[in-house]
Structure 1
Amino acid sequence: MSDFLTGIAFFLIIEGLVYALAPSVLRRMAEYLPQISEQQLRVCGLAAVALGVVMVWFIRGA
């Protein structure tokens, strides 16, 4: 459970840094987002999940 909470904490840190350091980039991304198809967003999301799982697997020394 502590690993999970640490992961959430790191996510919040990174997300907070994006809002603090590059708010204009975030606004432009939000304006562009409706132009991207749901299928493309879904594929990118699944790719990010797969990459994250592989990274954790390697880091943990499977």
Structure 2
Amino acid sequence: MVDFFSALAVALILEGAAYALFPDAMRRMIVQVLATPDRIVRAAGLAAAFIGLILLWLARSGT
């Protein structure tokens, strides 16, 4: 459970930093995502989740 909350905290830190450091770029990105078809957004989300799962597996299997 500690690992889950640690990962959530890191995700929030990175997300918050992106919005704090680059607010205009983040707004432009949101507009682009809203204009992108659902199937493309879904595929990108699944790809990101799969890559994250592989990276997590690699990090955990190395210890």
Instruction: Give the TM-score of the pair, scaled to structure 1.
Output: 0.94
Structure 1 gap segments, 5+ residues each: none
Cα offset for 1:11?
0.4
Tell me the SS of whatever aligns to 2:61. Answer: coil
Task: Provide the rounded CA distance (Å) in 2 between the counterparts of 1:34 and 1:20.
Answer: 21
> Cα RMSD between the aligned structures?
1.0
Question: Any gaps of 5 or more consecutive residues in structure 2?
Answer: none
Structure 1 runs (4+) deviating above 4 angstroms are none
In the comparison of the two structures, how many residue pairs are matched? 62
Q: Identity of aligned pairs, percent?
A: 37
Q: Deviations over 1:3-62 (max 9, x none)?
A: 000000000100110011100100101111221000000000000000000000000016
